[in-house]
Structures are given as structure tokens and as C-alpha cells.
Amino acid sequence: RFDMLPLSLMHLCSLHGNIDRFAFSVIVRLSATDFNDIKSIWFGKTLIRNVAALTYEQADAILSDEDPNAIATTAKLCAGGFVSKNLISQLKQQLLMLTDFARFRKRFRAETGALELQSSE
């Protein structure tokens, strides 16, 4: 495994669960029915707290109504830890919304002539 950042920077920059981080945020409010309809945009300094640092496998388990804790890791300060049962339904709702948005953006890019590169990786 080759990390992109030194370990000390990786811990400082990562969005670990339940740890406050200073950030520069962009908050874009979109119409719930039309993702092209931008209601407002805000840029600013924020303090953010990630409630669950999920792995891709855990996010997929939540979307598939499976237990994300069946594949949780016990390693400290890394994604993939225990997910509170109280959070799972809220996380699923947010993951579904992000999935819808990602599909919309992918379709939009294809319809507007985005460059698509094939890779063997």
C-alpha cells in the first residue's frame, strides 16, 4: 500500500468519525426535483464533524440493507469502524440522495459531450 500523504498529514487531514475539523466549505442548495436548479451557493470557513467514517463496503452494505458492522474494522483513526444502529437509516437516506445526484451528474456529462477515457486500471 502506498499512501498519498505522510502518516502525520494523513491523520490531520482525514475526516475521522466524531472528530472536529476546520474546513473551507461550499454549500450548494439544489432543487429536490431538478438538480440543475441551483437555489443558492455559500462559501465559507466551517467546523465539520463526520459522524461515520465509512468504507465503500460499509456504504454498500447500508444501501443493500445489510449490517455495516459485519465488515467493520477495529483499527483506530481509520474508516470502517463501528456504525451506530441509530445512524444507519439516516445514513442510508443520505447515501441514496448522493447516489441519485451522482447518477444525474454522470448522465448530464454524457449528454453534454464529456470526454470519456478508457483505462485498464
Tens digits of residue pLDDT in 26-80: 999 999 888 889 999 999 999 999 999 898 999 999 999 999 999 877 666 678 8
Rounded Cα gap, residues 35 and 86, in angstroms: 29
DSSP H or E run through 49:
strand 38-49
In DSSP terms, which residues pair with 43 in a beta bridge?
26
Per-residue pLDDT, 80: 84
DSSP designation for 14? S
The cell 441519485 sits on which residue? 100
- Proportion of the chain above pLDDT 90, given as a percent: 50
Least confident residue range of 2-11, 37-46, 102-111 = 2-11
What's the one-letter identity of residue 9?
L
